[in-house]
Amino acid sequence: MKLAIASGKGGTGKTTLAVALATLLPGCRLLDADVEEPNARLFVNGDEIDQREVTMPIPVVDPAACRACGACVRFCKFNALALAGGKILVFEELCHGCGGCSLVCPTRAIHEKPLPIGALSTILNDTWSLVEGRLNVGRMAAPLVIRRLLAQANKTGETIIDCPPGTSCNMVTAVRDADYTILVTEATAFGLQDLSLAVNTMRKLKKRFGVIINRADLGDDRVRRYCADESVKIHLEIPFSREIAQAIANGKTMLDGAPEFEAQLRSVLAQTGMGGIA
C-alpha cells in the first residue's frame, strides 16, 4: 500500500510525520518526493547504498538533415525550439522532454540525448529505507524525477511518499499513485487557505484523503470547522510541543521527542489501511 503525506501549505510537518510513520513500519520504504528541497535524509543515519542519475531526453538537431521547415518549433508548446537564420536553436532549459519534436520532424533530423536533471539516492536505515529524489538546481522537470522516484516504491510492502508542498504538478504527480493521502495542516488562516486548495485538488483527482492538524493548539478553530462542514476526516491533532521541536532540531524523529504519540500514530496508520491492519 502507498500512503502519501501532502499538504497545501509548506512547513506544516509533512516530513516530520512521514519519518515518524516510517519508523513504525518495519521494511517500509519512504520516498522523499519533495525533489526541489528534499530533507527526509536529515533524519536517516544509515549508509547510501545506491545512487542513480535521472535524465531527460533533449533534442539534438542534425543540421545536414534539417530543412528548417519549423514543424518542431510549431509543435513545441514550451517554446524550447526556435527557427532563426535558417537554423533550429534548442533551449534545453525550457524542454520538458516529451520527444514530440523528433516525432514530427519530416526528415528525421532530430534525435535525443540524455540530459542529467536529477538523482535518486537510496539510504538504508535499520528498519526501513529512504529513496530521495533530487532535482538539479535550475531544472524545471520536477514531475519527471518524481515519476522515476515513484517507480522505486516497495513492490509488496508499505511505501510512504513525502510529497512536495502546494497543489502544483509536483504535488499532483507525487500523490497520483497513493492509495490514501494525509493532508497535514495547521490551525491558522494560512493553513486553512492552502488546505482548502489541497482538498479541492484531492477531490478533483478522486483520491481518498484525511487531515492531520499539526501544532493544533496554535491558532483557532477554523480548520476544524472547515473539516466538519466539508465532511473531511481529521485523523489526529498534534499540539505544539517543545520536545518534538527539540528532537527535530537534533535530527531525531517526533517520536524520540514525544514517544506518547506512538499509539496515536499507529491508530492513524490503521485508519488509513497501512500495515495490513485495516
Partner 1 sequence: MKIAISARSASLESNFDTRFGRAPLFVIYDTDSKEVSSCNNTQNLQAAQGAGIQTAQNVANAGAQAVVSGHCGPKAFTVLTAAGVTVYQAKAATVQDVIRQFENGELVAMNSADVEGHWV
- Binding interface with partner 1 (CB under 8 A): 73, 78-80, 82-85, 87, 89, 91, 94
C-beta of 220: minimal distance to partner 1 in Å?
37
C-beta of 53: minimal distance to partner 1 in Å?
25
For residues 73 and 254, which CB has a smaller minimum distance to partner 1 in the complex?
Answer: 73
For residues 79 and 107, which CB has a smaller minimum distance to partner 1 in the complex?
Answer: 79
Q: Which three cell numbers stand for residue 275?
A: 500495515
Residues contacting residue 11 through CB under 8 Å, at least 6 positions apart: 165
Q: Which three cell numbers stand for residue 258?
A: 514525544
Residues contacting residue 21 through CB under 8 Å, at least 6 positions apart: 3, 5, 28, 160, 265, 268, 269, 274
Contact 219, 187 (CB under 8 A): yes
For residues 82 and 115, which CB has a smaller minimum distance to partner 1 in the complex?
Answer: 82
Residues contacting residue 111 through CB under 8 Å, at least 6 positions apart: 59, 60, 62, 102
C-beta of 81: minimal distance to partner 1 in Å?
8
C-beta of 71: minimal distance to partner 1 in Å?
14
C-beta of 194: minimal distance to partner 1 in Å?
23
- Give me the DSSP letters along 218-259: SS-SHHHHHHHHTT--EEEEE---HHHHHHHHTT--HHHH-G
For residues 96 and 252, which CB has a smaller minimum distance to partner 1 in the complex?
Answer: 96
For residues 92 and 177, which CB has a smaller minimum distance to partner 1 in the complex?
Answer: 92
Residue 58 — left, alpha, or beta (φ > 0 → left; ψ -120 to 50 → alpha)? beta
